[in-house]
Amino acid sequence: MSWWAQPVAKPSEAVRDQAKAHQVSLTKPAGSLGRLEHLATDFAAWQDTVKPTIERITIRVFAGDHGVAVEGVSAFPQSVTRSMLTNFINGGAAICVLAKQHAADFSVVDIGVVGEPAESAGVIDRRLASGTANFLHGAAMSHQVLDKALEIGREQVDGHADLFIGGEMGIGNSTVAAALTSAFLQVPAALTVGAGTGIDDARLQRKLAVVDAALALHNHPDNSPLETLRCLGGLEIAALTGAYIASAQNAVPALVDGYVSNVAALAACRLNPGTREWLLFAHRSSESGHQLLLDEMSAVPLLDLGLHLGEASGAALAIPLLRSACELHAGMATFETAQVASRL
């Protein structure tokens, strides 16, 4: 059995029940803190403790290029992936600012950016190739490369963390995400292809045609989730898939970012269904196909801010909500300790 198919332990329902009982005892009307109450009890079940804390946060951004970028599906040239890699190194990307704000363990992982490796301590060099192959002409990855990409994602998970956040960077990856979403959900490309980096109508039509062509070549009903990921996926998406499965196997909840990350989360759940119970969804992207993925996973995101940046930025913005939920749960007085009547 492959490592990614190994069983995933369930969160502790006994501790969740204890945490719910503690919530009822706090000096507030029952349910008055809404989803914050559910978040606190979720983390209690995940951490196997009635009063959970979120202190150690791991953030990994996986960067990789896509062969399909040569088809003119993005508003930016493929060279921007490497430029953004430098921006990550220099701390100038949005996720760098947010990771610093929350004192997270942050690194960017070069899993397949076109060009020479970045010579910097700020990049984890795990390059497998100079991008994927163009999926209009064949599978994006070989079986061996896909296996290694999943494993690289697994390597980046800290089993002692309280929370894992994965991000991605790679010009063309919203095209890849759309193709994967259509293949996984068996829906037409018109429902999954969006503006991505802000393309005009003509380029949007080109992007739609490219995804349609890729699906005609690779979207076979009898394909396994692994084969779909191999034929259509990106290196960074495969690494994220492995990271989500490994997080669940290590009993570390993962906070999922936007459209591209959600495709990886669905792939992880298709490969190992137990992963789903360890996933929390940060925000609803403005990308058209994202809601389809959320619906498929019965996920209600925490935020809806019209974001479509990627790189784990939306997930990082949700960290204060999670910490507040746990701190309220642990720090509020109970009716008994405050000597407040709980009911008339």
SS3 105: strand
Which of 116, 119, 311, 336 is flagged as catalytic? 311
Say how far apart CA 302 and CA 295 lie, in whole Å. Answer: 14
Establish whether 168 is a catalytic residue: no
Burial label, 106 (beta-carbon count in 10 A; 0-12, 13-18, 19+):
buried
The residue written with tokens 């109970």 in the block is 334
Within 72-216, strands assigned E span 105-112, 123-125, 163-169
Contact 65, 132 (CB under 8 A): yes
Nearest one of 3, 27, 7 to 335, comparing CA atoms = 27
Helix (H) or strand (E) holding 60: strand 57-64
Angle in degrees, CA 295, 327, 95, rounded to 5: 55
Q: Which residues are catalytic?
A: 311
